[in-house]
Amino acid sequence: MKISDRVKALRKKLGLTQKEFAKKTDIPLRTLAGIEYNERKPGYDLLMKLCKIARTFNVPIQWLMFGEAETKEVPIIASEPREEYETKTTGLIAIPVINDVPAGYPEVPTLDDEIRDYVYISKMPKDTFGLYVRGDSMMPELNDGDIVIVNPTMKNFSSGDLGVFRLAAGSTIKYYYKEGNNIWLQPRNPKYPSIILTDEIECIAIGKVIWKIIKVK
């Protein structure tokens, strides 16, 4: 199924005519028709229109762009109290957990000053660290206080990878997507917009998320 087919399928599922759909998304009717008839070439303009459709109707931009395979699965483990980890000494190593990635990382040689806690996991690559999830931009997949485990040696991203990136406002956990020359970072929570990476936006890839540790309810 092409992008054009998914947009058309969404419109029909909502029971809207092209005119009604265009009005709700504030996209010109002619432009919408071009998308549905596969006349709009992939690029920044199409991406922006798809982002607007996704936000308006609360559907994942990943689905509009790529179909059912929205993201690559990251293993999940449920966290336990620190005391429980510390009783399991065989084969477990301490992974430092930080609140934020410090400015200048990875040139900064150590994260020692930033460490807030430890989690204990087996067979982790060297220099792996944990990062607390803050805010609700990745809900419902990740909630405030959950932890992602980051491998800073993995910086070659492909579409659907979950990673940690540093922007001007600080570090952020987002899904990475690329279509042609267009790259964007995607939150899971649909109320947050995509972050379109342009020449004006400085973005540094910190590393890929290789584990997600969710809080035990």
Catalytic residues: 137, 174
Contact 211, 77 (CB under 8 A): yes
Q: Count CA atoms within 13 Å of residue 126 on its CB side.
A: 1
Ranges assigned E (strand) in the chain: 76-78, 93-98, 115-121, 129-132, 147-151, 162-167, 170-179, 182-186, 195-197, 204-214
Buried b / exposed e along 22-58 (16+ C-beta atoms within 10 A): beebebeeebbebbbeeebeeeeebbebbbebbbebe
Ranges assigned E (strand) in 55-107: 76-78, 93-98
DSSP state of 107: S
DSSP H helices, 80-204, are: 82-86
Asked whether the bond before 106 is cis by omega within 30 degrees of 0, the reply is yes
β-strand partners of 141? none
